[in-house]
Structure 1
Amino acid sequence: MPAPRSRVAVLVSGRGSNMAALIDAAAQPDFPAEIAAVISNRPNAGALAIAERAGVPTAVVDHKAFASREEFDAALDAELRRVAPDIVCFAGFLRLLTPGFIEKWEGRMLNIHPALLPSFKGLDTHARALKTGVKLHGCTVHLVTAEMDAGPIIAQAAVPVLDGDDEDALAARVLAAEHRLYPRALAAWARGEARLVDGRVTTASAADEPPALIWP
């Protein structure tokens, strides 16, 4: 009998392209996780319509309806507990959460960041990568901790920075990598192939050393 699939809640704020990649992956019968709910802090987020078309339950916890971060986080926590996910995936969720919320869900929250952490934490990652002249850029899936963009790294994907790239061109290349990386990282985490050991994520399927990506 196949192992039960992990229940996943996806938190979104915008268009939801990474969420859509997770929904598409979870539609495959051998994927080890199901998307149980999509929750947005913005009622007009485009991700909600995408999720609804895919038959995924949605909910809105509008941050503007609350007087403080603590009140919003309490309402989000209540909605997550109603859904009862095993894993919470941040997919363009544009809210900094309080330490109290992080503590309740720590070890179960995944985020994708558009840079090769620990480089370029925070915003404007593509512009900063171009300014510094790096030859490789990319994206990172990591566990969410109280320190922004500092949680243990689960998986990364690198893309070349090409001569003549502007911010939009580089962002598009990284986004395509995100759509491949996030489902793969979620699957590894849901299967237990990737797990937290002494503050670092070890991955059973990464035993074979891949060839180096060299650019140019």
Structure 2
Amino acid sequence: MKRIAIFASGSGTNFQAIVDAAKKGEIQADVALLVCDRPHAKVIERAIREHVPSFVFHPKQYETKECFEREILQQLRERGVDWIVLAGYMRLIGPTLLQAYRNKIVNIHPSLLPAFPGKDAIGQAYRYGVKVTGVTVHYVDEGMDTGPIIAQQALYIYDGEPLESIERRIHEIEHTLYPQVIQQLLTEKGSTSDEKTSNH
């Protein structure tokens, strides 16, 4: 069975959705590790409840990104991690992890990329006044939400709909779509990771 590590920085609702899907057998994988860059993030409490080991670090205690990514990489290798799943991880992935896990790092973003990359994507879309937004799952590369798109799901915004309602509906899509796409990636056969990237 494949082993995945989830990287998260916040409350961990997508972390929880992935763990729940794995427990139900909807994702055929072991959640082997949580990696978190914020020592007081709520996601750490979720990992403790779910008996998922955590590697929690404070980036400012390291001289460079390469230093803490080397330590993360050691943790991943010790646990035999096959895939990295970003779930609200608020840092760009650097060359150390990108090279070690080429085409094996995925992220979920609450907009229809390439529209509204970066932070507060739901708020960006709301303030812009778009009628359609959504969720994107994509491979991770060196850029900010620029990797090849794997899957998208659209959400139509109602006239006068408040931001809180849009956020809730976006999160509902995330919690369903992300586990489905992760399982698809884990079970795809007959093609290399490079071929999968080029097909999307």
1:93 — aligned with what?
89
Provide the C-alpha distance between the structure 2 equivalents of 1:180 and 1:130, rounded to a whole number of angstroms.
22
> Residue type of the partner of 1:106?
R
SS of alignment partner, residue 159 of structure 2: coil
Q: Can you list the C-alpha shifts for 1:151-184, whole angstroms capped at 9, x where unaligned?
A: 1111112111111123322112111110011100
What's the TM-score, normalizing by structure 2?
Answer: 0.90
The alignment status of 1:75 with 2:64, answered yes or no, reads no
Specify whether residues 123 and 180 from structure 1 end up closer, same or farther in structure 2 by C-alpha distance, changes over 3 A only. same
SS of alignment partner, residue 23 of structure 1: helix
Structure holding more helix per residue: 2
Specify whether residues 16 and 30 from structure 1 end up closer, same or farther in structure 2 by C-alpha distance, changes over 3 A only. closer
Structure 2, unaligned stretches of length 5 or more?
Answer: none
Provide the C-alpha distance between the structure 2 equivalents of 1:84 and 1:62, rounded to a whole number of angstroms.
23
What's the TM-score, normalizing by structure 1?
Answer: 0.84
Asked if structure 2 preserves the Cα contact closer than 8 Å seen for 1:61 and 1:76, the reply is: no
Tell me how far 1:49 sits from its aligned partner.
Answer: 1.1
Q: Can you list the C-alpha shifts for 1:175-196, whole angstroms capped at 9, x where unaligned?
A: 1110011100100000116965
Specify whether residues 182 and 95 from structure 1 end up closer, same or farther in structure 2 by C-alpha distance, changes over 3 A only. same
SS of alignment partner, residue 171 of structure 1: helix
Specify whether residues 62 and 112 from structure 1 end up closer, same or farther in structure 2 by C-alpha distance, changes over 3 A only. same
Provide the C-alpha distance between the structure 2 equivalents of 1:60 and 1:130, rounded to a whole number of angstroms.
33
Match of 1:111 among 97, 103, 107: 107
Asked if structure 1 preserves the Cα contact closer than 8 Å seen for 2:86 and 2:105, the reply is: yes
Asked if structure 1 preserves the Cα contact closer than 8 Å seen for 2:92 and 2:142, the reply is: no
Asked if structure 1 preserves the Cα contact closer than 8 Å seen for 2:14 and 2:175, the reply is: yes
1:157 — aligned with what?
153
Report which structure shows greater RCO (CA 8 Å, sep ≥6): 2
Higher Rg: 1
Provide the C-alpha distance between the structure 2 equivalents of 1:198 and 1:11, rounded to a whole number of angstroms.
22
Provide the C-alpha distance between the structure 2 equivalents of 1:44 and 1:82, rounded to a whole number of angstroms.
24
SS of alignment partner, residue 97 of structure 1: coil
Tell me how far 1:106 sits from its aligned partner.
Answer: 1.8
Provide the C-alpha distance between the structure 2 equivalents of 1:41 and 1:20, rounded to a whole number of angstroms.
17
Aligned residues: 198
Asked if structure 2 preserves the Cα contact closer than 8 Å seen for 1:152 and 1:201, the reply is: no
RMSD of Structure 2 on Structure 1 (CA): 1.9
Match of 1:197 among 177, 195, 198: 195
